[in-house]
Amino acid sequence: MKTELKDTAYPRGALPTGTLVRSIKKDRLGMVADAFYDEKIIVYTILLIPDKRNFSYINEAEDDRLYLINEYEYDIYAYLMVPPLDFEIINASLGGII
């Protein structure tokens, strides 16, 4: 059985790792961890940080967790005026989860 491997290089024109983004679906801030092509669309792997906008004592568990999700390039807002964070240092401080 012969399997064909796709090119796994970082997509040309993709946001750099560490770029701050907001997921439109989850409405949470995060940072780009990785990117890859799905057909002709760039898909970003995003590390979403906990949502602390609601200061009530009754929080859903989802708001207090780090999430690693995949989002299409048109499902995020990128904050391009803020320099990218050093993702390698952040990943190391989290115990190398990514």
pLDDT digits 0-9 by tens, 72-87: 999 999 999 999 999 8
pLDDT, residue 2, reads 56
- The DSSP secondary-structure symbol of 3 reads -
Is 71 contained in some domain? yes
Is 90 contained in some domain? no
pTM of the model: 0.77
Is 88 contained in some domain? no
Neighbours of 85 (CB within 10 A): 15
CATH of the domain at 10: 2.30.30
- The per-residue DSSP string of 23-82 comes to ETTTTEEEEEEEEEEETTEEEEEEEEPP--S--SS---GGGGS-EEEEEEGGGEEE-TTS
Q: How confident is the model at residue 6 (pLDDT cuts 50, 70, 90)?
A: low
pLDDT digits 0-9 by tens, 33-57: 999 998 889 999 999 988 776 655 5
Neighbours of 30 (CB within 10 A): 23
| Residue 68 φ/ψ, nearest 5 degrees | -115, 110
pLDDT, mean of residues 11-17: 92
Is 85 contained in some domain? no
pLDDT, residue 59, reads 52
In sequence order, what are the residues at sequence separation of 6 or more whose Cβ sits closer than 8 angstroms to the Cβ of residue 36? 8, 11, 42, 43, 45
Q: Give the chain's domain count.
A: 1
